[in-house]
A = this chain, B = another copy of it.
Amino acid sequence: MPTHYNGTAREKRALNAWIKFKRAGITLGSRIGDSLRTFNLTESQFAVVELLYHLGPRNLSEISEKLLCTGGNLTTVVDNLEKQKLAKRIPSKTDRRQYEIHITQKGKKQIEKLFPAHLRRIVDEFSVLSASEQEEFSRLCKKLGLGNTNKNK
């Protein structure tokens, strides 16, 4: 979808980049998300379980920080994971306000079964880019994600 907007070159460049970015996000997201849905996991749920698998137990605050979502939200996602017995809450011994969220054995097995196919899918999607293009792409995404935090606008 071209922009159909008559702005300055600078505006058109940014708008075009944003649109391409969003569309790539939708299409890749749905292609990659499909491979998760066959395991009865939503992307949010997968993100949490995968984080626990690779980083170990974390409390809700830490997870919400990593995954950039609100606390009340994460309660729901973790609730749904507990229903599926893929994660569990364990009260913290040091701070009785906190829970540590742990991945369960079933969750580990699920990730181990699912991750290779998931990874294959990702490698496949990115194989349209050369190695150096992928690296450049990562670099640009990172820069965009960090934003102009030190520009103090």
Contact = CB atoms under 8 A, between A and B. Distances in A.
Interface of A: 1, 3-5, 7, 10-11, 13-18, 20-32, 51, 54-55, 66, 68, 119, 122-129, 131, 133-138, 140-148, 153
16 contacts: A10-B123, A14-B122, A14-B123, A14-B126, A15-B123, A17-B138, A18-B125, A20-B145, A24-B141, A24-B142, A30-B68, A125-B144, A136-B136, A136-B140, A137-B137, A137-B140
A7 B120 CA distance: 11
Q: Please classify the interface of chain A as helix (H, G, I), strand (E, B), loop, or mixed, using the class held by over half of its residues.
A: helix
Contacts of A146: 128
Contacts of A133: 140, 143
Nearest to A10: B123
A76 to B, nearest CB: 17
A124 to B, nearest CB: 7
Contacts of A21: 24-25, 28, 137-138, 141
Contact of A15 (B15, B119, B140): B119
